[in-house]
Structure 1
Amino acid sequence: MNAKEGVRLVNVNTSAALSYSGRTLPAWGFHQQEVVGDVQLSNIDNNWNVEEHRYTRNEEKEDLQREFMKTDFIPLEPVKLNFIEKFLELQLRRFFITNENVPNHMYTSSPWKWLLISLLDIT
């Protein structure tokens, strides 16, 4: 397979490729398409197409290029963070990212409640 045909994702432990089953998940899976592990690596459904989409409001080519240069992409070199920096980044992301797509659950809580969980848990 060459790059124009796509990418095949194979698990090194099980030798199963990520494959499209053609089925739709029920409501608990938000009716998304099902993917499975397929041990027949030659199956056409194991090939995945990788695309990059960049959306911008500028129509002119020069403005478009400038806007692409300003955007935040994956870094070209590894970012080295110490433990505290990694920990703070994780906590800030968990605290400020909203889960608008996720329905409320009976065990759903807000991050501010996590700080008081041991004080509120009287057993």
Structure 2
Amino acid sequence: MKKSSLAFLAVGTALLLAACTQEQQNKISRSVQNWTGTNGVLEFYAGDKLVRRFIHIDKISTAMGTDDNRPRSYRYGYGVLDENFNMVADSGEKKVYFEISDFGSNYIFFENPR
């Protein structure tokens, strides 16, 4: 692709995003916040205290409406509930379903570097 074509594409994209309302931009960003990897970690906090950790997450998806196919205000996935917070899937710790709300969840998600 020529430099002039790339510049035109970049300017066009910037103008399109600038023309969107904040609500439209939020919908756009929500719809692309899916993650597929190999070893994700999701931690939930109450203040500065870790209260839940899910490990070995391979996918987090944005929920979509059944009838209208519009993005919902939460994401979901499956991971091993790390009950003792040691970052290891110990005997007895099972893979479970989880949901992450867009409203008020204090969490951090990252790919496990180990």
Q: Shorter-chain TM-score: which interval?
A: under 0.3
TM-score (norm 1): 0.26
**Greater share of strand residues, 1 or 2?**
2
TM-score (norm 2): 0.27
RCO higher in 1 or 2 (8 Å CA, sep ≥ 6)?
Answer: 2
Greater Rg, structure 1 or structure 2? 1
